[in-house]
Amino acid sequence: MQKSFLSTDNQFQRFLQVLAFVFLGYGFYLWHKDQEGSGFAILGACYSWLFSYYFSKDFLDRYKPQSVIQRVGDLLIFRQFKGVMKVSSSIEEEIELSRISTLTVGDNYISVILDGNGKGFDFVLKAKRADILAHIESIITEQEKADITIKKI
């Protein structure tokens, strides 16, 4: 199998940062030559730079399954972060394992249905489905697994 040009998150982050500098340079060039489009180039630079954060180590660590999903006693704690970079806070949902009827897991996503009534919570993670499932299976017991329907999407 052939590797992609941008095969890792770190490489893609660096690519977006270089692209931001290219847009910035092109924007200043257009501005210096009194041509239209410099604002769009500067906007492209800002967007590329901000989007590169999504692939940073800080973001990946913050949204990995071990950071988002934790077990304390009979509770699963799902932590969602809001804000960017170092200026952020988290929202925690504490859910009793006995209330969870269904877990639906996909890439970068987990849904928790409570009491079999179709209502629950959705959480965003930065992980593959297999990594999320492996973490969930490592923190719940066999008996709890038998009581919870786990769906893969």
Residue 132 lies in a domain: yes
Range of the domain at 33: 9-55
Cβ–Cβ < 8 Å for 102, 113: yes
- Four-residue CA torsion sign, 8, 9, 15, 19: positive
φ, ψ (nearest 5 deg) of residue 111: -120, 135
pTM of the model: 0.70
Residue 107: which CATH number? 2.30.29
3 inside domain: no
pLDDT for residue 1 is more than 50: no
What digits encode the pLDDT tens for the residues 89-132? 567 888 898 899 999 999 988 989 988 787 888 888 888 899 99
